[in-house]
Amino acid sequence: MKSILSSRQLTLTVKRLAHQVLENHINMENTVLIGIQPRGIFLSDKIVSEIKKEIPRKKIQYGKLDITFYRDDIRKELHKANHTEIPFTIENKNVILVDDVLYTGRTIRAAMDALLDFGRPAKVELCVLIDRRLSRQFPIQPDFVGKSIDSIVSQKVKVEWEKAEVILY
């Protein structure tokens, strides 16, 4: 086991990601944030909270997207769906998808497929806490990255929100 982000580093990284989103989307008026169920929600909740601290009078459009039935890599087992909650239109909006770890790109591909059921966004950007950059199966790259790491296929990255740390197994 190897620590990738300590508790303090994780806190600072979340704040930095929130600030980077704000730098690129100053007024947030035409921008929506969507956390990917299940693990991306922990990060997106924290980023939205930080953004609200910076611009408390603005309404942040924030949704949660379940991609269970859009995945192409786990078809044989019974799946329990998570909850999708997108109480606004994404038509012609800048959408920022948020997930904890970007690995093969399959989760993000599934999220983009699911997103199209809600409309046609003007632009889709990706915000991730950890980018495992050497293992892509799809040509997907994040726009906002907490930390990039090089890891081998047999290793796992675990974001432990209760302990507030990120570990490489």
Contact 123, 95 (CB under 8 A): yes
Q: Read off the pLDDT of residues 63-100 as tens digits, 9 standing for 90 and up.
A: 999 998 887 766 566 566 678 999 999 999 999 999 99
Domain boundaries in the chain?
2-71+82-168
pTM: 0.92
* Rounded Cα–Cα distance for residues 109 and 68 (Å): 12
pLDDT, one tens digit for every residue, the chain (169 residues): 889 999 999 999 999 999 999 999 998 989 999 999 989 999 999 999 999 999 998 899 999 999 988 877 665 665 666 789 999 999 999 999 999 999 999 999 999 999 999 999 999 999 999 999 888 999 999 999 999 999 888 888 999 988 888 998 8
CATH architecture, domain defined by 2-71+82-168? 3-Layer(aba) Sandwich (3.40)
Contact 62, 43 (CB under 8 A): no
Contact 131, 103 (CB under 8 A): no
